[in-house]
Amino acid sequence: MNDPPMTLLDIRSLDHPVIHAANLQVDAGERICLAAPSGAGKSVFLQCLADLLEHTGEVFFDGQPRTQFSGHAWRQQVCYVASESAWWSGRVIDHFPAQVTLPLSALQLDNELLERSPSGLSSGQRQRLSLLRALARHPRVLMLDEPTANLDERNTDAVETLLQEWTGEGNALIFTSHNVQQQMRLATRRWSIRDGRVEAQE
98 near another protein (CB under 8 A): no
Min CB(200)–another protein separation in Å: 24
21 binds another protein (CB under 8 A): no
Strands 141-145 and 172-176, bridge-based pairing = parallel
Distance CA 18, CA 196 (A): 6
Name the minimum Å distance from CB 52 to another protein: 6
* Range in contact with another protein (rule: CB under 8 A) among 22-30, 57-65, 77-85, 182-190: 77-85
Nearest to 144 by CA among 202, 197, 88, 80: 80
The reply on whether position 81 binds another protein by CB under 8 A is yes
Minimum CB separation from another protein for residue 55, in Å? 10
Among 23, 64, 68, 70, binds another protein (CB under 8 A): 70
- Whole-number Å distance between alpha carbons of 34 and 187: 9
Helix (H) or strand (E) holding 182: helix 180-186
Verify binding: residue 72, another protein, rule CB under 8 A: yes
Cβ atoms of 5 and 26 closer than 8 Å:
no
Cβ atoms 66, 51 nearer than 8 A: yes
Q: Please give the DSSP secondary-structure letter assigned to residue 187.
A: -
Is there binding between residue 88 and another protein (CB under 8 A)?
yes
Q: How many CB atoms lie within 10 A of CB 151?
A: 20
DSSP letter (8 states) at residue 98: T
| Binding of residue 139 to another protein (CB under 8 A) | yes
CB of 150 to another protein, least distance (A): 16
Closest to another protein by CB, 18 vs 200, is 18
Residues that bind another protein (CB under 8 A): 50-54, 70-73, 75-77, 79-82, 84-88, 133-134, 137, 139
